[in-house]
């Protein structure tokens, strides 16, 4: 089980920043970041405190014995707006961090961009549903228009931006989950 990634998803689902969670648990933001990136392991006591602040407990956190959902409805979507970046992320498959891939729909306003993702193992796939975006992979840039797709290995820093005057919407799938 990927404890760090699962904690990150739970924190985001609760609409908390790392700093807000750290304040609630009397921990440092840096320690929360290290836990989420699996660079540090919390003690059972610390994990229990974190989960309590996130509205769950150890039993529910580690319980993977639920029936597998196959179809997801609009009410299952979790939406988070990132005003500073000019983007909105729609997690269209709940709890997808436990799966091998994570699909989202990213919406970018004119001038908006996704967060910059550091190199990691895995692959990325995207399909532009509307508008046009610029895909940034390392030092290279690619224009991807409506009904076009992109696919790459995640070995370089990467993100998307919208340099047009219209909104853009992208179906984006990452493996392993990284959003």
Domains of the chain, by residue range, sit at 3-62, 74-175
pLDDT at position 136: 98
pLDDT at position 166: 97
Average pLDDT across the chain, whole number: 91
pLDDT at position 167: 98
Strand-pair partners of 106? 89, 170
pLDDT at position 178: 73
Which CATH class name applies to 74-175? mainly beta
pLDDT at position 42: 92
Question: Which DSSP helix (H) or strand (E) runs through 5?
Answer: helix 3-13
| Rounded mean pLDDT for each run of 10 residues along the chain, 179 residues in total | 87 90 92 93 93 90 71 89 94 81 95 93 96 97 98 96 98 85
Tens digits of residue pLDDT in 85-134:
999 999 998 877 677 889 999 999 999 999 899 999 999 999 999 999 99
pLDDT at position 66: 53
CATH node for 3-62: 1.10.260.40
CA atoms within 13 A on the CB side of 154: 20
pLDDT at position 36: 93
pLDDT at position 95: 76
- Residues 64 and 1: beta-carbon distance below 8 Å: yes
- Residues 156 and 174: beta-carbon distance below 8 Å: no
pLDDT at position 89: 94
């Amino acid at each position: 089980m990927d404890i760090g990634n699962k904690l990150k998803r739970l924190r985001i689902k609760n609409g908390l920043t790392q700093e807000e969670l750290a304040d609630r648990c009397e921990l440092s933001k840096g320690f929360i970041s290290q836990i989420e990136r699996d660079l540090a392991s919390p003690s059972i006591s610390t994990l229990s405190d974190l989960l309590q602040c996130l509205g769950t407990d150890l039993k529910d956190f580690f319980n993977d014995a639920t029936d597998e959902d196959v179809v997801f409805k609009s009410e299952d979507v979790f939406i988070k707006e990132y005003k500073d970046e000019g983007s909105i992320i729609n997690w269209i498959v709940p709890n997808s961090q436990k799966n091998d891939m994570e699909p989202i729909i990213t919406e970018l306003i004119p001038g908006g961009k996704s967060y910059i993702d550091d190199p990691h193992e895995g692959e990325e796939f995207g399909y532009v549903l509307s508008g046009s975006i610029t895909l940034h992979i390392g030092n290279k840039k690619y224009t991807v228009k409506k009904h076009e797709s992109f696919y790459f290995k995640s070995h370089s820093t990467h993100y998307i931006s919208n340099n047009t005057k219209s909104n853009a919407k992208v179906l984006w799938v990452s493996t392993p989950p990284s959003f």
